[in-house]
Structure 1
Amino acid sequence: MSTYNYKKETTIKTTFNRNNRRDLGPRINNKILAKNIQVISETGVNLGVMPTAQALQMAIDADMDLVEINANNIPPIAKIMNYGKYKYEQKKKISEARKNQKTNELKEVWIKPFIEENDLKIKMKKVFEFLNEGDKVKISVMTKGSKRVLAIGARSGATTNLFERVIQIIGDKGTIESKSKPDERTRSIIIAPAK
């Protein structure tokens, strides 16, 4: 025998709250709530305080939009402008700013403590590519591993010698920003591009 579970339907009443409205940009044309506004013409001339209906009619006659620029001012400030063109120009400015903005990243290159000379040249070539792009480079030396390798590396000072070779190869193409503490298992240096 099958049973059916009757669930009680519930309805949720929602109310519109002006304070919680999403910010969709400035109010334009008929969406302006103030009765009187201070109007600025499309050329930037202050036309003074006037009723919103009169300012809206002026915008319609000029084949433009009435855009509320500062709603917090008393009376609010509105400008007569082509809102579509204004939005397009703002979007274009933001896009250009993003294009021109270069984010510098921290790139990391791992090196073994007993690296061969040719392998080191290849790693350093990659480091120079990152520095030429304007990025900082963290060169890390793998000191963890079997106890025998650590003992040999600690006695011979392999990581210290390796860092000295790396610094010598970099020369004036980069500046050392920081070094890791000698007691850490993974040792590293951070190199910034030369200015």
Structure 2
Amino acid sequence: MLMNEKIKASEVELTGLHGEDLGVMPTAEALALAKKLKVDLVCTSLMSSPPPCRLIGAGDAKREKQQAKAAERGMKVKEIRLTPQIEEHDYETKRRQAEKILQSGDAVLLVVRIKGKEGTAAKELLERLAKDLSHAGHRTSGIQLSGKQASVQLNP
């Protein structure tokens, strides 16, 4: 994604801040307009002539670039393992870790190892963790109890 002075085309097809079509104009004129409005001129594609460009707010351009990069690499599923008798401090650490992963655009698989009759405690722990992380991600399905582990996956 080319921005501002890095756009080398002689003229560009410009779209305004609110999606309005401003037509084809020289690149220098488009840059002057962007500077006047205190925004960035971003080239959206180099495959056509003249290249289509948009006026985007400074912070929005950076955020859009990060989202494009995240979408390009795809979503990974990262696993976080817990035990049913986890202490409060450790729980908070795992919760923050999962929140950071969800905010980076990856999915989290929360897995609780079960020994003996710990199934209900494991299920309660996963319910609590899923509820605490509801602002950062949503469950793909219910809690799966299978053999020696209980798990739930959260997507951003």
TM-score, normalised on structure 2?
0.51
3-state secondary structure, aligned to 1:71: coil
Question: What is the deviation of 1:64?
Answer: 2.3
**Once the two structures are aligned, what percentage of the paired residues are identical?**
24
Q: 2:49 aligns with which of 74, 78, 81?
A: 74
Deviations 1:31-90 (A, max 9, x none): 102112110111211111122112112222223221112222332111122223442577
Q: Are residues 192 and 28 of structure 1, via their aligned partners in 2, closer, same or farther at CA, if it must alter by over 3 Å?
A: closer
Match of 2:122 in 1: 127
Q: How does 1:66-145 map to 2 (within 5 A)?
A: 66-88=41-63, 98-99=102-103, 103-111=108-116, 120=117, 123-130=118-125, 132=127, 133=130, 135-140=143-148
- Cα distance in 2 between the residues matched to 1:108 and 1:51: 63
- Does the aligned pair in 2 maintain the 1:106–1:136 contact within 8 Å? no
3-state secondary structure, aligned to 2:115: strand
- Does the aligned pair in 2 maintain the 1:27–1:67 contact within 8 Å? yes
3-state secondary structure, aligned to 1:110: coil
- One-letter amino acid matched to 1:109: I
Higher relative contact order (CA 8 A, sep 6+): 2
Question: What is the deviation of 1:102?
Answer: 6.2
Deviations 1:165-184 (A, max 9, x none): xxxxxxxxxxxxxxxxxxxx
- One-letter amino acid matched to 1:105: L
Match of 1:117 in 2: none
Q: Are residues 35 and 89 of structure 1, via their aligned partners in 2, closer, same or farther at CA, if it must alter by over 3 Å?
A: closer
Bigger Cα Rg: 1
Q: 1:59 aligns with which of 13, 16, 34?
A: 34
TM-score, normalised on structure 1?
0.42
- One-letter amino acid matched to 1:71: L
Deviations 1:121-164 (A, max 9, x none): xx233233255345423334xxxxxxxxxxxxxxxxxxxxxxxx
3-state secondary structure, aligned to 1:107: strand
The structure with more strand, counted as a fraction of residues: 2
Q: Are residues 60 and 36 of structure 1, via their aligned partners in 2, closer, same or farther at CA, if it must alter by over 3 Å?
A: same
Q: Are residues 135 and 64 of structure 1, via their aligned partners in 2, closer, same or farther at CA, if it must alter by over 3 Å?
A: same
- Cα distance in 2 between the residues matched to 1:35 and 1:75: 8
